[in-house]
Amino acid sequence: MTDAPLGPEAPHLPVTRESPLGRFVPSAPPGAATHWGTGAQNGVQMAQLDRTWLGPLAPLLEDPSVTDVFVTGDSGTWVDRGGGATPDPRVHLSEAAVRDLAVRLVARGGRHVDEASPCVDVRLPGGVRVHAVLPPVSTSGTALSIRFPRAVPPTLDDLAQTGFFSEVDEAVVRACVERRANVLVTGAGGTGKTTFLAAMLSAAAPGDRIVTVEDVAELRVVHPHVVSLEARQPNLEGVGGIDLARLLREALRMRPDRLVVGECRGVEVRELLSALNTGHDGGAGTLHANGLRDVPARLEALGAVAGLTPAALARQAVSALDAVFHLERVAGRRRLACIGSLGTTSEGELAAQPGLGAGRAARGAS
């Protein structure tokens, strides 16, 4: 392939090309860097990780089971291979080296970390998520947390082979996807909420238009029609920020068949529940919660931030959400611990109980 001529005589190159699925996707510009490569699955282009960006941490990625790497100043390096974080003596960096690596990784994600912005969360090509906190906010030295996605996003079948559905009926999950139930995936950090949600969305009908909204894009959905929206932080002047609530409103104008919020953590819960109550089925979101019984309290806390009274939040949530999938991590294994639903008590308070109610999810599971 030869380089295209430059200057006024250069030919007008197409900005799109037709994919085998009949969709038009952006064409790569002449001379574009391709060292990181792409992998196509079911029409979805997925960037591959360039380990050279990780500098001294690159050798840790020789083990494909690594999901997280944590570095805190000169205290050492910890690695999670799915069974919990353990120290790795192969890499021991100085505080200066950790800070330099954090600055470079954050810059690779298009942002900056310094004394004015000491806490930063970014996404790198390949789906890697980097979170950095500088001193003095981090009193133990520069704290660097890196999460690596699996080379191939797991499907529901893949999860089943690991025993993920050992505590529940897998057919209920598949029925919820097929019947376009609105679901909430809950669990503590590191239980696999994002992975499970992506696997469910990958099982959606090929004709569905899926629009995802995330603070930092992590969902890797293997599906022919996915639109991913990512929040943007304000610049140094404090302008230009786009939060999840704003993105949700924009997503509603994009005629989604399935509207997905990667993680509900603030006022966006109001927009999500409102959307799911106005004819948008097949929607989903994730929420941090310690157990199924704790989900109502977490929703009420977010609703209070959004200006919803507990009674209003209860009515919205019960009407909008057909099923709650709660995940756990036990002895290093991630699993779907229980399937529940939301209802109200005789006093009108929001409550969660095991099993499905009489909504769309229950009809699909019968």
Domain ranges of the chain: 51-147, 156-365
- In words, the CATH class of domain 51-147 is alpha beta
Q: What is the pLDDT of residue 45?
A: 38
Distance CA 214, CA 208 (A): 19
Which of 202, 163, 200, 167 is CA-nearest to residue 184?
200
Residue 1 CA to residue 294 CA, distance in Å, equals: 59
pLDDT tens digits, 150-184: 778 899 999 999 999 999 999 999 999 999 999 99
> Could you tell me if 41 and 51 are in contact, meaning their C-beta atoms sit under 8 angstroms apart?
no
pLDDT of residue 208: 96
**Residue 253 structure tokens:** 């104008």
Nearest to 218 by CA among 194, 242, 246: 194
Q: Which residues pair with 47 in a beta bridge?
A: 38
pLDDT, one tens digit per residue, over 114-124 is 998 899 998 88
pTM of the full structure: 0.76
Are the beta carbons of 13 and 30 closer than 8 angstroms? yes
Strands 210-214 and 226-230: parallel
For residues 47 and 41, the answer to whether their CB atoms sit within 8 Å is no
pLDDT number for residue 360:
54
Q: What is the pLDDT, as a whole number, of residue 22?
A: 40
Q: Which residues, at least 6 apart from 315, have a Cβ–Cβ distance to it below 8 Å?
A: 344
| d(C-alpha 208, C-alpha 177), whole Å | 11
The residue ranges of the chain whose pLDDT is under 50 are 1-47
Alpha helix segments (H runs only) across the chain: 95-108, 156-161, 170-178, 193-202, 244-252, 268-276, 295-305, 310-320, 360-365
- Domain 156-365 architecture: 3-Layer(aba) Sandwich (3.40)
CA–CA separation, 307 vs 83, rounded Å?
A: 40
